[in-house]
Protein backbone atom coordinates (compact mmCIF):
# COMPACT_ATOMS: atom_id res chain seq x y z
CA UNK A 1 0.00 0.00 0.00
CA UNK A 2 1.26 3.41 -0.90
CA UNK A 3 1.48 5.65 2.14
CA UNK A 4 3.38 8.46 0.41
CA UNK A 5 2.31 11.76 1.93
CA UNK A 6 0.28 10.12 4.70
CA UNK A 7 0.67 10.98 8.35
CA UNK A 8 3.27 8.77 10.10
CA UNK A 9 0.61 7.26 12.36
CA UNK A 10 -1.45 6.23 9.32
CA UNK A 11 1.61 4.77 7.60
CA UNK A 12 2.49 2.85 10.76
CA UNK A 13 -1.05 1.51 11.16
CA UNK A 14 -0.99 0.12 7.61
CA UNK A 15 2.07 -2.02 8.31
CA UNK A 16 1.29 -5.67 8.74
CA UNK A 17 -1.30 -6.12 5.99
CA UNK A 18 1.08 -7.76 3.48
CA UNK A 19 0.14 -11.33 2.72
CA UNK A 20 2.35 -12.45 -0.18
CA UNK A 21 4.73 -14.20 2.22
CA UNK A 22 2.01 -16.48 3.57
CA UNK A 23 1.06 -19.93 2.27
CA UNK A 24 -1.83 -19.80 -0.22
CA UNK A 25 -4.49 -20.96 2.25
CA UNK A 26 -3.52 -18.29 4.77
CA UNK A 27 -3.36 -15.66 2.03
CA UNK A 28 -7.05 -16.33 1.38
CA UNK A 29 -7.80 -15.42 5.00
CA UNK A 30 -5.50 -12.39 5.10
CA UNK A 31 -6.27 -10.84 1.69
CA UNK A 32 -9.73 -9.42 2.51
CA UNK A 33 -8.28 -7.51 5.45
CA UNK A 34 -5.55 -6.06 3.20
CA UNK A 35 -8.13 -5.08 0.61
CA UNK A 36 -10.34 -3.35 3.18
CA UNK A 37 -7.36 -1.50 4.66
CA UNK A 38 -6.45 -0.31 1.17
CA UNK A 39 -10.02 0.93 0.57
CA UNK A 40 -10.03 2.78 3.88
CA UNK A 41 -6.68 4.36 3.05
CA UNK A 42 -7.97 5.42 -0.37
CA UNK A 43 -11.24 6.89 0.91
CA UNK A 44 -10.50 8.44 4.29
CA UNK A 45 -8.25 11.30 5.37
CA UNK A 46 -5.55 10.98 7.98
CA UNK A 47 -7.17 11.14 11.38
CA UNK A 48 -6.72 9.42 14.74
CA UNK A 49 -9.91 7.46 14.00
CA UNK A 50 -8.45 6.11 10.75
CA UNK A 51 -5.29 5.03 12.55
CA UNK A 52 -7.39 3.33 15.22
CA UNK A 53 -9.58 1.61 12.61
CA UNK A 54 -6.52 0.31 10.77
CA UNK A 55 -4.90 -0.94 13.99
CA UNK A 56 -8.07 -2.76 15.02
CA UNK A 57 -8.49 -4.21 11.54
CA UNK A 58 -4.90 -5.48 11.70
CA UNK A 59 -5.62 -7.02 15.10
CA UNK A 60 -8.67 -8.79 13.68
CA UNK A 61 -6.61 -10.00 10.72
CA UNK A 62 -3.94 -11.35 13.06
CA UNK A 63 -6.57 -13.29 15.02
CA UNK A 64 -8.14 -14.76 11.87
CA UNK A 65 -4.80 -15.77 10.36
CA UNK A 66 -3.68 -17.28 13.65
CA UNK A 67 -6.84 -19.36 13.87
CA UNK A 68 -6.44 -20.49 10.26
CA UNK A 69 -2.83 -21.49 11.00
CA UNK A 70 -3.94 -23.45 14.08
CA UNK A 71 -6.63 -25.27 12.09
CA UNK A 72 -4.07 -25.97 9.37
CA UNK A 73 -1.64 -27.42 11.90
CA UNK A 74 -4.35 -29.50 13.57
CA UNK A 75 -5.47 -30.92 10.23
CA UNK A 76 -1.87 -31.79 9.40
CA UNK A 77 -1.30 -33.64 12.66
CA UNK A 78 -4.44 -35.74 12.52
**% helix / strand / coil in the chain, to the nearest 5?**
75, 0, 25
Nearest-angstrom CA–CA distance, 30 and 36: 10
Element (H, E) at 40: helix 24-43
Q: Are 18 and 34 in contact (CB under 8 A)?
A: yes
- In this predicted model, what pLDDT tens digit does every residue of 22-74 receive, in sequence order? 999 999 999 999 999 999 999 999 999 999 999 999 999 999 999 999 999 99
Give residue 76's pLDDT. Answer: 82
Summarize the confidence of residues 3-25 as an average pLDDT.
94
Q: Is the pLDDT of residue 78 over 60?
A: no
Amino acid sequence: MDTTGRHPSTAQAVRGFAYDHLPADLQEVSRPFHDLAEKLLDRLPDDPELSAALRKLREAKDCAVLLAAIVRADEGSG
